[in-house]
Amino acid sequence: MVNFAAGKKQLILIAMVTIACIVALVFLNNDNSDSQKDNDDSVEKGAEETASADDLMELTVYLQDKEEVILNDCGITYPEKIQVPKTTAVADASLKYLFAEELSRYGRYESVVINDGIAQVTISNDNDPEGYKISGLSSCEARHLTNVLKDTLTQYESIESVELFSPSGKIKF
């Protein structure tokens, strides 16, 4: 009986080791499949990024020079190259970028209409839809807003000057 009990223990031990090996192999195989899937996804994602890079164009926007603001002048700007989806509406693309970043505190960009060399930029502010908050900016804030818009938009041949509007009419500083 002692031999039979020892043999039974050995069989149980072998069965447990075998099951552990099978479980380990299954998990390793799943991890490799996931890694392969991740690699496949990365290759596809890389191809999409390359394809989307072909659909981009470079524009120049003008941003406030923060160093000059401290030392000198709120209206000093510098050019910055950005990547945007290809478009013929370059003024619109530039303004969308600027109001998503640099000029977001002044309101939400609505539209730009170019008539006789004048870019009429409409922005709205949910807190002040009449545009009074914009017209009440400090002189430094007003120069920041107007110079960034003017320097960015007048680089385009069809634009000579910029006017700012709220949904209710022209904004004057």
Task: Give, to the nearest 10 degrees, the angle between helix 139-153 and helix 90-100.
Answer: 150
Contact 148, 64 (CB under 8 A): yes
pLDDT at 24 over 70: no
- How far is the first Cα of the chain from the last one, in angstroms, to the nearest whole number? 104
pLDDT in tens, 121-157: 999 887 666 655 676 788 888 888 999 999 999 999 9
**Residue 105 DSSP one-character state:** G
- Residue 95: in which H helix or E strand, if any? helix 90-100
pLDDT at 108 over 50: yes
Q: How far apart are CA 12 and CA 1, in angstroms?
A: 16
Domain boundaries, the chain: 1-54, 56-170
pLDDT at 51 over 70: no
Nearest CA among 62, 95, 96, 100 for reference residue 81: 62
Name the token pair of 135. 């017209």
Work out the mean pLDDT of the chain and round it to a whole number: 78
Q: How far apart are CA 119 and CA 54, in angstroms?
A: 29
pLDDT at 5 over 80: no
Classify the phi-psi angles of 29: left when phi > 0, otherwise alpha if psi is within -120 to 50, otherwise beta. Answer: alpha
pLDDT in tens, 83-104: 999 999 999 999 999 999 889 8
pTM score: 0.65
Contact 68, 76 (CB under 8 A): yes
Q: How confident is the model at residue 73 (pLDDT cuts 50, 70, 90)?
A: confident
